């Protein structure tokens, strides 16, 4: 399949070659050092190649080899705990090979070719199997890694299935005359096939009150977190990676800070997963293509990431994929597009920006895989709008596709309100779909409670406008009470400390308890007001202080019960 | 490269446009290869290959194309741009192209390094840690700089960012153990006057002995301005990761650098991005800023303080905006404070050091550091809010408590923010001053500080 040609022209990461007659998106090796690249345009005999590595010193006339294959991800045992660059080269291996810096022309396979895995078949010779079906398992840490027949295989009887220690390349079985190994290769720019996509109706529980209660994301859904720099996108993304109830986490550091990736790389292995007691890293795949690494590899990184996520979905797992940041990805597209001298669209972005974004987000879904298992890929994409201006093309095109919008807000950050997610501008369109789940699994009145809280917050924002003009003293007592209750919702419920050992994760049930306690306070207070008690007295009840602190206590649930009792007692005291 | 020896001279210049020279029909030339151009009067200019193909090679000339005609002869040197580096560079002043400017001898290189630094493998990076003392309270106390961090100063025209840059260059040190500390000072597009000031200051204060200074002047060609920071950072990398020094890189003014990028981009007829700046400006800036850091198993570190003036004080302008997305926080200067005669006019409310937590506390600075900083932030914010209110309702209608916050804000600006241009405050001194002004608040207003620190440090 491979053909050889020569370089005609070099201009930055864009190289033109002749004589290779490739197909679009074939991977080619460029120059004497064999730099990896991808064909992105064909004009007559000229093939235009985006090269994933630095091209300094590369000359016209140097050889180009076409591999005849598109950019693929290697999928199989060994993915978990891996740390890759944008084109799935394992960073630890690169460091062993070439030291502390990433130089070019070094390749390393995504999956370790030497390592042996203990394959346990779940089917017997003679069983009929089809594409996508699991034929055995491998234990990868505490996770069960299912070995599946790659998509595209014909239905057939299984032969020579071989249990025991194998490398990822060994033949472990044969179907219809074709060998099956534990490694699959899948072109990253293509979505992996599924049998059927479902309406997402199960929430991805994140342990973040403002997200789970107010703006929930469904498993298999997509959400966007736009925010100016310093509003806490990365902290929110990392909290989600740490605490969401997805079984597998794929974290893509796309064009972000090197030191931030270092933080992720040092923190994730230390974090203990509350459900398994193991390091979070054991169920994580990290992709780190920092801002100064080659821009073409940055462009590829989100595809590499989502392909890996889909592979785990096909085993029946719930996967959450964080992309930080999709704006950097879009900028990579823009850079390459401008080198190709394509006609620019809005703000210099290529006209196909919207198309690429929707193709990517559409790969999020909850689905029945070819194997019959049900799994999901939820995508959480950070957007870094220039100047915090949400009207820019990347944010706008993203919002047209995703159904959840978590708006980070500079003003809230300045007030040290974290997570700085604005409750008035954020939204989740999964609200209705998920309310049945919440009714069944948390509490019947949960959706109502939440609607009440949103109303109070909305009312507060209206009242604030008046307060700013005439001061709060001129408000009637009922409205002052609304302000007090809204303050409780904001300070007790919405604010959450991502660094506090207890408060960092709040289970759905506790979210319900906290919110119903605020409601209870509101109801008792309204009664007291009706009974002639002054609002100041209500606002200064000592229980407020205890309630404020309760979420940080070791025995938080018991403490919340105590708060409830105190509330009864203290309001009774007022009435007397 | 043996090939360089046989390199021919070409007299096939076909087109000259802006800083670019087009040469026809050459032997294969490498992308980014260095070039010399000999003019008809015998003078030599240097350049670099921007685009290379069988038919035509595009060369960007560093010194500008003035005087080049179609008879000029072009020689390709067969190699990309290298920076000669050596320990002897400490104490030297160089031009933006790396040539001696101080009348001293040429640098005898110990090594020649590629100026486009390769990216540090994220796996090889070590987390930034350990405090760097700049001697400026608003930075050390409240926006602590940490080894391996990149913390820019966002300024505006007419604000004293160059004075601050010099003060930091002079005072910065790492605490504790026997560490070698060095400053790489990179001036980009500064005026001749500023150059005189820099040179005089470096000599007056003796800060030069631990520093390498690169001076690219406002009338130097734009293309050189793009190269200067890379020369400086290559030097810094050599000193940090091969000689094991703690290196602080100060770059001023990044805005001039970005203007040069835009100018060169336009000359190349590239498709412009936001406000005419090239679409790759984020990546380009990242290639500078991301050279800060620490590497596992290496003793040295590179810390960066890039300084940029925000055009019309607009923090959403592409230059500060893209910088803010790459750097780990920012120090913002305030025109209001400057007008009130406060130096350094640091606006702490909008400043932030994202890595502060890994550089402060027990064993690094002092146990109460974080709490004191939080308290200062909170109380100052409270006081500033009240200033707005006072403007409407008058001071008399404030409660006694509020009046304390109001006074605190003034006190804070006067005692903590304001300091002399030669005043080098240790972190202990900064904390001491902080406690002295916190004393003016009631104890129950100190909500961010643990009781035990209050008992220990608050002098009644």
Which tens digits make up the pLDDT trace of A461-489? 999 888 877 777 778 999 999 999 999 99
Which A residues in the span 98-157 are in contact with B, Cβ-Cβ below 8 Å? 99-103
Q: Which of B28, B123, B291 sits opposite A61 (nearest CB)?
A: B28
**pLDDT above 50: residue B2:** no
> How much is the average pLDDT of A231-256?
86
Structure tokens given for B267? 């000359």
How far is B195 from chain A, CA to nearest CA, in Å? 31
CB contact (8 A) between residue A258 and residue B50? no
Residues A457 and A486 sit within 8 Å (Cβ to Cβ) = yes
Q: Which residue of A has its CA nearest to B350?
A: A414
pLDDT of A575 reads 67
Q: Which of B32, B287, B295 sits opposite A100 (nearest CB)?
A: B295
Which A residues in the span 375-404 are in contact with B, Cβ-Cβ below 8 Å? 384, 386-389
DSSP letters spanning A312-354: HHHTT-EEEEEEETHHHHHHHHHHHHHHTTPPB-GGG-BTTHH
Q: Which residue of A has its CA nearest to B316?
A: A387
Q: Which residue of A has its CA nearest to B381?
A: A415
> How much is the average pLDDT of B1-7?
46
**pLDDT above 80: residue B301:** yes
Greatest extent of chain B over all pairs of C-alpha atoms, in Å: 86
Per-residue pLDDT of A413-441, as tens digits, reads 777 788 999 999 999 999 899 999 999 99
CB contact (8 A) between residue B293 and residue A258? yes
Percent of chain B at pLDDT > 70 equals 98
**pLDDT above 90: residue B205:** no
A328 in contact with chain B, both atoms CB, cutoff 8 A: yes
Going by C-alpha positions, the residue among A295, A334, A306 that lies closest to residue A191 is A306
Q: Which of A103, A259, A389 sits opposite B328 (nearest CB)?
A: A259
CA distance to A12, A255, A348, A352, A415, per residue, from A345 (Å): 22, 22, 6, 8, 37
Tokens 């394509």, residue? Answer: A342
Q: Which residue of A has its CA nearest to B324?
A: A229
* H/E segment holding residue B163: helix B161-171
pLDDT of A274 reads 65
Q: Which residue of A has its CA nearest to B26?
A: A60
Q: Is residue B42 exposed (0-12), middle (13-18) or buried (19+ Cβ within 10 Å)? A: exposed
**Cα(A484)–Cα(A468) distance, rounded to whole angstroms?**
16
CB contact (8 A) between residue A59 and residue B329? no
**Cα(A45)–Cα(A38) distance, rounded to whole angstroms?**
16
Residue A399 phi, psi (nearest 5): -65, -25
**Cα(A487)–Cα(B264) distance, rounded to whole angstroms?**
53
Taking CB atoms and an 8 Å cutoff, what residues of chain B touch A229? 321, 324-325
CB contact (8 A) between residue B53 and residue A335? no
> How much is the average pLDDT of A34-42?
90
pLDDT of B1 reads 35
A interface mutation test: which of B56, B121, B145 has the most A CBs within 10 A? Answer: B121
Q: Which of A59, A262, A263 sits opposite B52 (nearest CB)?
A: A59
CB contact (8 A) between residue B298 and residue A290? no
Report the residue count for chain B.
Answer: 460
Chain mean pLDDT for chain A: 90
A94 in contact with chain B, both atoms CB, cutoff 8 A: yes
**Cα(A377)–Cα(A316) distance, rounded to whole angstroms?**
10
Chain mean pLDDT for chain B: 90
pLDDT of A520 reads 95
CB contact (8 A) between residue A102 and residue B116? no
CB contact (8 A) between residue B31 and residue A58? yes
**Cα(B304)–Cα(B147) distance, rounded to whole angstroms?**
9
Per-residue pLDDT of A163-184, as tens digits, reads 999 999 999 999 988 899 999 9
**pLDDT above 80: residue B371:** yes
CB contact (8 A) between residue B324 and residue A230? yes
Taking CB atoms and an 8 Å cutoff, what residues of chain B touch A295? 280, 283
pLDDT of B203 reads 85
pLDDT band at A456 (very low <50, low <70, confident <90, very high): very high
| Highest mean pLDDT pick, A571-575, B162-166, B264-268 | B162-166
Size of interface A-B (CB pairs under 8 A): 179
pLDDT of A122 reads 95
Going by C-alpha positions, the residue among A359, A86, A395, A401 that lies closest to residue A233 is A395
**Cα(A232)–Cα(A410) distance, rounded to whole angstroms?**
9
Tell me, yes or no, if the pTM score tops 0.90.
Answer: no
How far is A387 from chain B, CA to nearest CA, in Å? 4
| Highest mean pLDDT pick, A379-393, A406-420, A518-532 | A518-532
Percent of chain A at pLDDT > 70 equals 98
CB contact (8 A) between residue B119 and residue A99? no
Residue A364 phi, psi (nearest 5): -80, 130
CA distance to B16, B161, B162, B345, per residue, from B158 (Å): 38, 8, 10, 12
CB contact (8 A) between residue B298 and residue A266? no
A331 in contact with chain B, both atoms CB, cutoff 8 A: yes
CB contact (8 A) between residue B119 and residue A335? no
Q: Which residue of A has its CA nearest to B117?
A: A101
Taking CB atoms and an 8 Å cutoff, what residues of chain A touch B293? 258-259
**Cα(B46)–Cα(B51) distance, rounded to whole angstroms?**
16
As beta bridge partners, residue A379 has: A222, A321
**Cα(A236)–Cα(A234) distance, rounded to whole angstroms?**
5
Taking CB atoms and an 8 Å cutoff, what residues of chain B touch A55? 31-32
CB contact (8 A) between residue B271 and residue A341? yes
pLDDT band at B175 (very low <50, low <70, confident <90, very high): confident
Q: Is residue B73 exposed (0-12), middle (13-18) or buried (19+ Cβ within 10 Å)? A: middle
**pLDDT above 80: residue A231:** no
Alpha-helical segments (H) within A144-198: none
Percent of chain B at pLDDT > 90 equals 58
> How much is the average pLDDT of A213-238?
86
pLDDT of A223 reads 94
CB contact (8 A) between residue A8 and residue B54? yes
Read off the DSSP letter of residue B116.
S
pLDDT band at B460 (very low <50, low <70, confident <90, very high): low
**pLDDT above 50: residue B5:** no
**Cα(B94)–Cα(B343) distance, rounded to whole angstroms?**
30
CB contact (8 A) between residue B122 and residue A83? yes
Per-residue pLDDT of A334-343, as tens digits, reads 888 887 888 8
Taking CB atoms and an 8 Å cutoff, what residues of chain B touch A416? 378
Q: Which of A91, A290, A347 sits opposite B273 (nearest CB)?
A: A347
CA distance to A467, B388, B446, per residue, from B391 (Å): 17, 5, 26
How far is B281 from chain A, CA to nearest CA, in Å? 9
Coil, strand or helix at B303: strand
How far is A17 from chain B, CA to nearest CA, in Å? 10
DSSP letters spanning A450-482: HHHHHHHHHHHHHHHHHHHHH-GGGS-HHHHHH
Strands B246-252 and B181-190: parallel
**Cα(A366)–Cα(A369) distance, rounded to whole angstroms?**
9
Which A residues in the span 11-30 are in contact with B, Cβ-Cβ below 8 Å? 11-12, 16
A interface mutation test: which of B122, B129, B398 has the most A CBs within 10 A? Answer: B122
pLDDT of A481 reads 93
**Cα(A546)–Cα(A496) distance, rounded to whole angstroms?**
16
Q: Which of B30, B120, B123 sits opposite A265 (nearest CB)?
A: B123
Q: Which of A58, A266, A414 sits opposite B30 (nearest CB)?
A: A58
pLDDT of A47 reads 93
Numbers of helices and strands, H then E, in chain B: 12, 23
Structure tokens given for A72? 């693929």
Per-residue pLDDT of B89-130, as tens digits, reads 999 999 998 889 888 888 899 999 988 888 899 999 999 988
CB contact (8 A) between residue A291 and residue B290? yes
Q: Which residue of B has its CA nearest to A227?
A: B325
CB contact (8 A) between residue B29 and residue A59? yes
ipTM of this complex prediction, to 2 decimal places: 0.82
* H/E segment holding residue B380: helix B369-393
Read off the DSSP letter of residue A513.
H
- Interacting residues of B144 by C-beta distance below 8 A, sequence separation 6+: B131, B353, B355, B356, B359, B360, B365, B369
**pLDDT above 60: residue B283:** yes
How far is B211 from chain A, CA to nearest CA, in Å? 25
**Cα(A405)–Cα(A214) distance, rounded to whole angstroms?**
11
A interface mutation test: which of B3, B4, B123 has the most A CBs within 10 A? Answer: B123
Q: How far is CA A513 from the centre of its chain?
A: 28
Coil, strand or helix at B142: coil
Residue B374 phi, psi (nearest 5): -60, -40
Going by C-alpha positions, the residue among B171, B141, B154 that lies closest to residue B347 is B154
Tokens 């406002």, residue? Answer: B218
Q: Which residue of A has its CA nearest to B315?
A: A387
Q: Which of A255, A265, A348 sits opposite B279 (nearest CB)?
A: A348
Q: What is the CA radius of gyration of chain B?
A: 25
Residue A120 phi, psi (nearest 5): -115, 110
Structure tokens given for B434? 């902080």
């Amino acid at each position: 399949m491979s053909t050889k040609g020569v370089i005609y022209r070099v201009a930055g990461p864009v190289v033109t070659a002749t004589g290779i007659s490739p197909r679009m998106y074939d991977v080619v090796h460029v120059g004497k050092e064999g730099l990896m690249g991808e064909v992105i345009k064909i004009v007559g005999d000229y093939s235009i190649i985006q090269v994933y590595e630095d091209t300094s010193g590369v000359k016209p006339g140097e050889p180009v080899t076409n591999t005849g294959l598109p950019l693929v991800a290697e999928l199989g045992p060994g993915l978990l705990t891996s740390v890759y660059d944008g084109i799935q080269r394992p960073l630890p291996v690169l460091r062993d090979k070439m030291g502390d810096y990433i130089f070019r022309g070094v390749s390393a396979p995504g999956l370790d070719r030497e390592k042996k895995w203990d394959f346990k078949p779940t089917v017997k010779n003679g069983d009929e199997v089809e594409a996508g079906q699991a034929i055995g398992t491998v234990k990868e840490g505490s996770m069960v890694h299912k070995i599946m027949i790659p998509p595209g295989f014909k239905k057939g009887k299984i032969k020579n299935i071989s249990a025991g220690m194998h490398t990822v390349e060994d033949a472990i079985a044969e179907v219809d005359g074709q060998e099956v190994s534990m490694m699959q290769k899948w072109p990253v720019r293509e979505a992996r096939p599924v049998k059927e996509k479902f309406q997402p109706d199960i929430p991805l529980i994140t342990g973040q009150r403002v997200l789970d209660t107010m703006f929930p994301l469904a498993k298999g859904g997509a959400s966007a977190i736009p925010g100016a720099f310093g509003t806490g996108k990365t902290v929110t993304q990392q909290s989600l990676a740490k605490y969401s109830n997805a079984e597998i986490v794929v974290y893509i550091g796309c064009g972000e800070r090197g030191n931030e990736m270092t933080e992720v790389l040092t923190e994730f292995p230390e974090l203990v997963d509350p459900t398994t007691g193991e390091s979070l890293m054991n169920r994580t795949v990290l992709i780190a293509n920092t801002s100064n690494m080659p821009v073409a590899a940055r462009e590829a990184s989100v595809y590499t990431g989502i392909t890996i996520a889909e592979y785990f979905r096909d085993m029946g797992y719930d996967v959450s994929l964080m992309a930080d940041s999709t704006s950097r990805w879009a900028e990579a597209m823009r850079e390459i597009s401008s080198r190709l001298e394509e006609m620019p669209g809005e703000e210099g972005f290529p006209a196909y920006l919207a198309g690429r974004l929707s193709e990517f987000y559409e790969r999020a879904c909850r689905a029945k895989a070819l194997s019959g298992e049900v799994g999901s890929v939820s995508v959480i994409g950070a957007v870094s709008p220039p100047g915090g201006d949400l009207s820019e093309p990347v944010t706008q095109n993203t919002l047209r596709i995703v159904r959840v919008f978590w708006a980070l807000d500079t003003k809230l950050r300045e007030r040290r309100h974290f997570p700085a997610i604005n409750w008035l501008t954020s939204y989740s369109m999964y609200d209705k779909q998920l309310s049945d789940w919440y009714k069944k699994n948390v509490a019947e009145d949960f959706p109502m409670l939440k609607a009440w809280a949103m109303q109070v917050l909305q009312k507060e924002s209206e009242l604030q406008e008046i307060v700013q003009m005439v001061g709060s003293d001129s408000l009637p007592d009922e409205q002052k009470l609304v302000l007090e209750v809204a303050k409780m919702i904001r300070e007790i419920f919405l604010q959450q400390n991502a660094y506090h050992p207890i408060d960092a994760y709040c289970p759905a049930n506790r979210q319900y308890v906290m919110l119903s306690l605020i409601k209870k306070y509101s109801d008792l207070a309204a009664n007291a007001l009706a009974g002639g008690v002054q609002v100041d007295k209500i606002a200064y009840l000592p229980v407020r202080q205890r309630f404020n602190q309760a979420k940080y206590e070791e025995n938080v649930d018991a403490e919340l019960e105590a708060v409830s009792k105190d509330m009864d007692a203290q309001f009774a005291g007022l009435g007397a | 490269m043996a090939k360089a020896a046989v390199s021919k001279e070409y007299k096939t210049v076909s087109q000259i446009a802006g800083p670019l020279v087009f040469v026809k029909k050459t032997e294969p030339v490498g992308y980014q290869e260095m070039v010399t151009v000999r003019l008809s009067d015998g003078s030599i200019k240097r350049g670099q290959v921007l685009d290379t193909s069988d038919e035509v090679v595009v060369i960007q000339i560093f010194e500008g194309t003035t005087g080049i005609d179609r008879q000029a002869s072009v020689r390709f040197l067969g190699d990309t741009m290298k920076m000669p580096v050596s320990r002897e560079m400490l104490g030297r002043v160089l031009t933006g192209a790396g040539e001696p400017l101080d009348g001293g001898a040429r640098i005898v290189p110990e090594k020649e390094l590629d100026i486009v630094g390769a990216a540090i493998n994220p796996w090889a990076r070590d987390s930034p840690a350990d405090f760097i003392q700049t001697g400026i309270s608003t930075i050390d106390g409240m926006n602590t700089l940490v080894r391996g961090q990149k913390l820019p100063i966002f300024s505006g025209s007419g604000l004293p960012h160059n004075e601050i840059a010099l003060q930091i260059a002079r005072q910065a040190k790492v605490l504790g153990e026997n560490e070698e500390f060095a400053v790489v000072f990179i001036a980009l597009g500064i005026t001749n006057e500023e150059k005189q000031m820099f040179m005089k200051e470096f000599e007056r204060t003796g800060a030069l002995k631990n520093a390498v200074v690169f001076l690219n002047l406002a009338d130097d060609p734009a293309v050189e301005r793009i190269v200067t920071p890379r020369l400086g950072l290559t030097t810094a990398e050599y000193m940090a990761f091969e000689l094991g020094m703690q290196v602080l890189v100060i770059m001023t003014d990044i805005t001039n650098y970005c203007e040069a990028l835009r100018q060169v981009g336009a000359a190349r007829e590239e498709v412009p991005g936001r406000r005419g700046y090239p679409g790759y400006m984020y990546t380009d800036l990242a290639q500078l800023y991301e050279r800060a850091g620490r590497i596992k198993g290496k003793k040295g570190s590179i810390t960066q303080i890039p300084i940029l003036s925000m055009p019309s004080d607009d923090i959403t302008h592409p230059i500060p905006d893209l910088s803010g997305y790459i750097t780990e926080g920012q120090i913002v200067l305030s025109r209001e404070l400057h007008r009130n005669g406060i130096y350094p006019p640091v606006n702490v409310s909008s400043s932030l050091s994202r890595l502060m937590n890994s550089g402060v506390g027990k064993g690094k600075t002092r146990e109460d550091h974080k709490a004191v900083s939080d308290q200062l932030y909170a109380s100052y914010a409270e006081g500033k809010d009240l200033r707005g209110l006072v403007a409407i309702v008058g001071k008399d209608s404030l409660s006694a408590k509020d009046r304390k916050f109001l006074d605190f804000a003034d006190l804070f600006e006067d005692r903590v923010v304001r300091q002399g241009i030669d005043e080098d405050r240790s972190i202990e001194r900064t904390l001491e001053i902080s406690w002295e002004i916190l004393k003016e608040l009631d104890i129950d207003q100190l909500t961010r500080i643990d009781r035990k620190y209050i008992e220990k440090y608050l002098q009644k």
